[in-house]
């Protein structure tokens, strides 16, 4: 029965009574704002509010007692939250909810409200007990995080869009430049060919033809670049095989065999033009000089990446190199030397009476 007496004492709280009751004393003194309402009175008024509740809301006890809790609500209080509370009270259920409330001075605070019914021995609800917690800081922090996230997301979207547009513009520009370079290279080649036919002097004509082949080599480099999927890399192995087949095919020299040991050999496309010119000099030189005067033979072509270096080797079993300087015309030799240095590589010549071997060695990356 003692238990029941205690319960009765606690349930029958009057503001001036309860002294000496340990439960009532605890509720009065706790830092947790708390109220008790009586649903058996009209409009379920507050019958008890502790000190902490008064401090939280700024209302005095006389302003609180006898009023329904809704006096804490204000214009920005969520209707949905209010409805949830109303349903819980009507259904005599416990509820936990964050709700925007207003202090006496009109300032807002987020209230983490916990409401639960207190039942008597007969099981009927005698009181509602409500505890409050000011969680404005937490809600505000969450709101700020959400807001920041939204701002960042909008910024990211804007930036992504801008980058996509820039990429599209750049791709369009690149294709347009490609198109013009292609047209111009084709026209330069055609102009040189047309001029070459008008020259009677075989010495000048052959120099012009050599120049024409250089322009053609550049055109081939460019064509292979724009036709490849990755415009930053250039397969110099395939290019060399292509050039050798073209030069020998066009010469009609069926007596020159090609022995190609060529793998995919990628170098940065920034080095493609220089390397294309070097290979053109070496290949055309071999066909013109090593196999001159109808001498037949085999042209060996080797292209492979070895230990991060691009190795290209062109060797013939033709007339050989009696004197280093005489085989290639002056400009050709200079071009090979200077362009090799430009691409960060070396070109070495090994002449023998039975043919010439030229090795190009450059870094495959960077």
Partner 1 sequence: MGRRHTPLRFLVVEDEALLAMDLGMMIEDAGHHVVAEAGCLREVQGLDVGIAPDVAFVDLHLAEGSSGLDVCAHIKQNWGDAIIVFVTANPRKLRVDHPGAHGVIAKPFSRNGIMSALRYITEGICDPPPSASTPPDFTAFPALAATWKD
By CB under 8 A, name the binding residues for partner 1.
179, 182-183, 185-187, 189-191, 193-194, 197, 212-213, 216-217, 219-220, 222-223, 227, 241-242, 245-247, 249-252, 254
Closest CA to 313 of 361, 276, 280, 274: 361
Q: CA 128 to CA 116: how far, in whole Å?
A: 6
How far from 126 is each of 8, 41, 59, 194, 311, CA to CA, in Å?
A: 11, 10, 25, 111, 95
Q: How far is the CB of 286 from partner 1 (least distance, A)?
A: 14
Closer Cβ to partner 1, 84 or 228, answer by number: 228
H helices within the chain, ranges in order? 2-11, 22-29, 51-57, 61-64, 79-90, 136-198, 202-227, 236-251, 272-285, 324-327, 330-342
Q: Which residue carries 């039942």 as its tokens?
A: 119
Q: Which residue carries 């804007």 as its tokens?
A: 158
Cβ atoms of residues 239 and 221 within 8 Å: yes
Q: How far is the CB of 283 from partner 1 (least distance, A)?
A: 10
Q: How far is the CB of 328 from partner 1 (least distance, A)?
A: 18
Closer Cβ to partner 1, 219 or 267, answer by number: 219
Q: How far is the CB of 181 from partner 1 (least distance, A)?
A: 9
Closer Cβ to partner 1, 38 or 216, answer by number: 216
Q: How far is the CB of 244 from partner 1 (least distance, A)?
A: 9
Q: How far is the CB of 298 from partner 1 (least distance, A)?
A: 16
Give the phi and the psi of residue 359 in degrees, each rounded to 5. -120, 130
Q: How far is the CB of 227 from partner 1 (least distance, A)?
A: 7
DSSP 8-class letter at 75: T
Closer Cβ to partner 1, 164 or 179, answer by number: 179
Q: How far is the CB of 299 from partner 1 (least distance, A)?
A: 14
3-class secondary structure, 101 = strand
DSSP percent split of the chain into helix, strand, coil, nearest 5:
50, 25, 25
Q: CA 353 to CA 321: how far, in whole Å?
A: 6
Closer Cβ to partner 1, 141 or 245, answer by number: 245
Closer Cβ to partner 1, 35 or 219, answer by number: 219
Closer Cβ to partner 1, 121 or 250, answer by number: 250
Closer Cβ to partner 1, 248 or 362, answer by number: 248
DSSP 8-class letter at 45: -
3-class secondary structure, 91 = coil
């Amino acid at each position: 029965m003692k238990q029941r007496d205690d319960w009765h004492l606690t349930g029958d709280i009057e503001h001036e009574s309860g002294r000496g009751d340990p439960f009532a004393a605890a509720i009065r003194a706790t830092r947790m704002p708390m109220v008790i309402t009586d649903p058996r009175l009209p409009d379920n008024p507050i019958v008890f509010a502790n000190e902490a509740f008064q401090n939280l809301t700024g209302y005095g006890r006389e302003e609180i007692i006898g009023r329904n809790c809704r006096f804490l609500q204000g214009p920005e209080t969520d209707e949905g939250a209010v409805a949830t509370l109303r349903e819980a009270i009507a259904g005599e259920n416990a509820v936990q909810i964050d709700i925007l409330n207003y202090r006496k001075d009109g300032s807002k605070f987020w209230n983490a409200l916990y409401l639960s019914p207190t039942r008597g021995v007969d099981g009927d609800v005698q009181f509602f007990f409500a505890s409050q917690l000011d969680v404005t800081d937490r809600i505000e922090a969450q709101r700020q995080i959400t807001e920041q996230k939204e701002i960042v997301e909008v910024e990211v979207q804007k930036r992504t869009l801008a980058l996509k547009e820039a990429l599209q513009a750049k791709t369009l520009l690149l294709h347009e430049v490609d198109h013009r370079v292609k047209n111009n290279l084709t026209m330069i080649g055609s102009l040189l060919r047309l001029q070459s036919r008008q020259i009677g002097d075989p010495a000048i004509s052959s120099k012009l033809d050599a120049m024409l082949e250089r322009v053609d080599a550049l055109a081939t480099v460019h064509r292979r670049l724009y036709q490849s999927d990755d415009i930053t890399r250039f397969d110099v192995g395939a290019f060399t095989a292509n050039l050798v087949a073209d030069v020998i095919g066009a010469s009609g020299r069926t007596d020159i065999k090609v022995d190609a040991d060529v793998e995919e050999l990628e170098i940065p496309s920034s080095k493609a033009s220089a390397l294309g010119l070097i290979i053109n000099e070496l290949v055309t030189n071999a066909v013109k000089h090593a196999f001159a005067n109808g001498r037949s033979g085999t042209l060996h072509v080797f292209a492979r990446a070895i230990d991060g270096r691009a190795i290209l080797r062109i060797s013939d079993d033709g007339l050989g190199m009696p004197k280093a300087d005489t085989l290639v015309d002056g400009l050709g030799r200079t071009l090979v030397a200077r362009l090799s240095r430009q691409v960060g590589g070396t070109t070495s010549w090994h002449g023998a009476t039975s043919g010439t071997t030229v090795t190009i060695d450059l870094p495959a990356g960077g």
